[in-house]
Structure 1
Amino acid sequence: MNLFEKKVLSFWDRENSLTILLIVLAIQIFIVIPFGQQTFFGRAIFYVFYILLMVTGMLVLMKNNRLRATTFVLLILAVVALFGTNPSFEIAHDLITAFFCLLLNWVVLLRTFGKGPVTTHRIFGAIVAYLLIALIFALLYHTVYIIKGEISFKGLGTADRKEFLYFSFVTLTSIGYGDISPVVPFLRSLANLEGLVGQLYPGIIIARLVSMEFESSRRKKENNDRLA
């Protein structure tokens, strides 16, 4: 590993990499995907930001030696499957990307709740994990739709990714507008699981971050008392 590679990996090992990941992920989820992929321009923008998101995630994951080879293989497979026209390519892309996001989520949570004081970057890391959950479920919904067809959902406008991401966020946040609803039993169970995760995650994460902040403040006060 040369000096440049060491510097790159060293940067992505810092907490501020979580902030950069959040920015890229938020642009992809709230701007690029909702824009749609029905036009050539929409697809081009999606591909650019999708690859940017995957590369950013790869750089975060690559600091872990055990995940380095796995991450690189998953990135290549996901990008190759993305440009396939056969439905099997779409299924492969969704499942590979979902697994990639799951690994990324795990690493982000490890960094967010690692030793040390609670910082803004760590709070952003908790938000990244929440957004990744919605993205993972959206990919799974899309996979089932490709397999089962239009009978999978009631009220679904198109098969565009933005529809599944919208449904995923509505379910995760328990808004429940009811304009789109799952019909297939497996999808209903998946939606119930996402709704449960969406309810438990904020409470657990907030409680954990608050306890970490209290612990950090206590240690800081003890150190100041010793020095006084």
Structure 2
Amino acid sequence: MRPIVRGLIASLLSNSLVALLLLIVLMVFVLPFLSTQNSLVGRIIQDLLFALVLLNGLILLMDRHKGLILTPVALVALLAIGVRGIGWLFPDSFTVEIREGTTLLALALISVATAMKVFASGVVTLDRISGAVALYVLMGTVWAEAYQLVILNHPGAFSGSTLAETTSDRSIWIYFSFVTLTTVGYGDIVPVAPAARSLANLEALIGQLYPAIVLARLVSLQVPRASSDPNKP
């Protein structure tokens, strides 16, 4: 029994970034498409996927890092999950700002954990490449949470026709974040406040630099292995 459990744990650790990518795609892109805003089923699935993403991030840290790094990340993850859980039991006990703030902090730390594994030394594998894509999507999600926090505290921070009815729809900020990250810039939502503009500028800059940095790192990991291959003609 123990060898089977150890085998399952080893398999999960070796493919943790692939699992993380699948969970994030489901949470960010698939679920909003299948469920309507404020849907009870959608909220339940969203919170479950969020918890699984955080759990997967902790598994990433268990692979290489313990103690000093794992403990604070685990505490923040538990706090974020706990805030969401209490929100179901006592809806009026926590404001939206606290929920979004803990979500932002937890996802930011999971992004750091993912980056540590993606950019670490080692072999270029499907798991590492999946992690690089997952990190890109995570960054867009973190910025979406940041935009939502800005609009909650400064209602006039953004302008646009799509904001006329509601600014609490998370899918709006997911959309705006990835439009900014990929520098598409449709112009239907425009940052007006200084904080909103600074966030948008930083995200656009990272969106341009990240693919080049990842490609350079993956090439730097692969070239030495290819040049040292004894079977190479």
Please tell me the TM-score bracket, short chain as reference.
Answer: 0.7 to 0.9
Q: Structure 1 residues 115, 194: closer, same or farther in 2, change over 3 A? A: same
Where structure 2 has 5 or more consecutive residues not aligned to the other structure, the ranges are: none
Deviates more, 1:136-145 or 1:156-165: 156-165
On the 8 A contact 2:60/2:117 being kept in 1, the answer is: no
Letter in 1 for 2:105: F
Structure-2 separation of matches of 1:209 and 1:147:
40
Match of 1:160 in 2: 169
Instruction: After TM superposition, give the deviation of residue 145 of structure 1 in Å.
Output: 1.2
On the 8 A contact 2:61/2:70 being kept in 1, the answer is: yes
Letter in 2 for 1:189: S
Q: Indicate whether 1:185 and 2:190 are aligned.
A: no
Q: 1:128 aligns with which of 134, 152, 163?
A: 134
Structure-2 separation of matches of 1:40 and 1:121:
34
Where structure 1 has 5 or more consecutive residues not aligned to the other structure, the ranges are: none
Structure-2 separation of matches of 1:211 and 1:152:
42
Q: 1:93 aligns with which of 75, 99, 103?
A: 99
Instruction: After TM superposition, give the deviation of residue 181 of structure 1 in Å.
Output: 1.3
Task: Write out aligned runs for 1:51-200 (5 A).
Answer: 51-63=51-63, 64-65=65-66, 66-82=68-84, 83-84=86-87, 85=91, 89-149=95-155, 151-155=156-160, 156=163, 157-158=165-166, 159-200=168-209
Q: 1:203 aligns with which of 212, 218, 221?
A: 212
Structure-2 separation of matches of 1:128 and 1:45:
19
Q: Structure 1 residues 38, 8: closer, same or farther in 2, change over 3 A? A: same
Per-residue CA deviation, residues 124-158 of structure 1 (Å, 9 max, x unaligned), is 11101111110110111111111112x12212252
Per-residue CA deviation, residues 43-96 of structure 1 (Å, 9 max, x unaligned), is 222222222222222222344212332222212211232253459632223232
Structure-1 separation of matches of 2:195 and 2:211:
25
Structure-2 separation of matches of 1:142 and 1:124:
27
Structure-2 separation of matches of 1:87 and 1:182:
31
Deviates more, 1:55-64 or 1:24-33: 55-64
Match of 1:214 in 2: 223
Match of 1:32 in 2: 31
On the 8 A contact 1:139/1:164 being kept in 2, the answer is: yes
Structure-2 separation of matches of 1:124 and 1:91:
31
Structure-2 separation of matches of 1:220 and 1:87:
61
Instruction: After TM superposition, give the deviation of residue 6 of structure 1 in Å.
Output: 6.6
What is the TM-score of this pair, normalised by structure 2?
0.83
Structure-2 separation of matches of 1:101 and 1:5:
28
Instruction: After TM superposition, give the deviation of residue 201 of structure 1 in Å.
Output: 0.5
Q: Structure 1 residues 204, 144: closer, same or farther in 2, change over 3 A? A: same
The number of aligned residues is 221
Instruction: After TM superposition, give the deviation of residue 106 of structure 1 in Å.
Output: 2.2
On the 8 A contact 2:57/2:113 being kept in 1, the answer is: no
Structure-1 separation of matches of 2:98 and 2:23:
23
More helix by share: 1
Structure-2 separation of matches of 1:28 and 1:131:
11
Per-residue CA deviation, residues 10-35 of structure 1 (Å, 9 max, x unaligned), is 44432x11111111111111112444
- RMSD of aligned C-alpha atoms? 2.5
What is the TM-score of this pair, normalised by structure 1?
0.85
Instruction: After TM superposition, give the deviation of residue 4 of structure 1 in Å.
Output: 9.1
